[in-house]
Amino acid sequence: MAEPARRLFLALWPDEAAAAALDAAGLDAQRQLGGRRMRRDTLHITLAFLGGVEESRLAGLVEGLGGVSGEPFTLRLDQLAHWRHNHIVWAGCAERPAALDALVGALRQRLAGLGFAVDDTPFVPHVTLLRKVPRAEPLPAMGAIVWPVSGWVLMESRLSEAGASYRRLAGWPLALPGGVSDVEASA
C-alpha cells in the first residue's frame, strides 16, 4: 500500500492589507471580464510546487528548509496579465525585486539537495485573481498594490468540489538565518 502523501507548495502569503487590495482588484477584473474569482483566503504567490510529498519526508523537508535565508523585500504588484492557455488572469509586477529571485534560487537549490524535483522554468511571480475567464481583452487597469514580504510558508493544498483549501504547515522569516518560526504540531 502506498504511503500517504500531502500536496505541498512553498509560497508568499499576503498580509491583510495586500490581501484586501488583491481581492478588490480581482472583483474589479471579474466585473469587466467574467470568470471565477479566487477567494481572498487563497491569494498567494507560489514559489515552488512540490506535489505529493510522503508523510515520512515531511519532517526532513521542514528541517531542511529551515536553512534557507533571505532578505525582506517589497513587492509592487502593478499590472494584470492573462494566460490564454489556461484562461487565468493574474496580478504581477513590472519590476521584480532581486531579493525575490534570490529567495526562489535558494529554495530551488535546497529542494534539489533534499531530493525533490525542481522546476527549472523561469519563475514568474504572480497572484491568480480569476480562473475560467472567457475573454481578457481589454485588461482593466490596476492600481499598484504594495506588499511587504517578511517571510515565506510551506502550505498543504486540499482539493474538493468546492475548490482548493490551504493549510499552513510551517513558516520562515526572511533576514534571519535558518530556524522555523512556527511549525504546526501535526506536521
Enumerate the H helices of 10-135 as residue ranges.
16-33, 55-65, 98-113
Question: pLDDT tens digit string along 13-71?
Answer: 999 999 999 999 999 999 999 999 999 999 999 999 999 999 999 999 999 999 898 99
Q: CA 152, 108, 121: angle at the middle one, nearest 5?
A: 110
Average pLDDT over residues 104-125: 95
Q: What is the pLDDT of residues 145-156, one digit of tens each?
A: 999 999 999 999
Rounded to 5°, angle at Cα 78 from 11 and 68: 25
Non-local (6+) Cβ contacts of 58 within 8 A are: 6, 169, 187
Q: Which CATH class is domain 5-176?
A: alpha beta
What grid cell was written down for 16?
491583510
**C-alpha grid cell for residue 56?**
515520512
State whether residue 62 is helix, strand or coil. Answer: helix
Q: Is 35 within 8 Å of 87 (Cβ atoms)?
A: yes
What is the mean pLDDT of the segment spanning 113-119? Answer: 93
The whole-number pLDDT of residue 113 equals 96
Cell output for 85: 492557455
pLDDT at position 186? 42
pLDDT in tens, 162-187: 778 899 999 999 974 444 445 443 44
Using CA atoms, how far residue 41 sits from 16, 19, 163, in Å, is: 10, 8, 12
Q: How high is the pLDDT of residue 142?
A: 92
Helix or strand holding residue 151 (H, E): strand 151-160
Which pLDDT does position 4 carry in this prediction? 85
Domain ranges of the chain: 5-176
Cα separation, 147 vs 158, in Å, equals 26
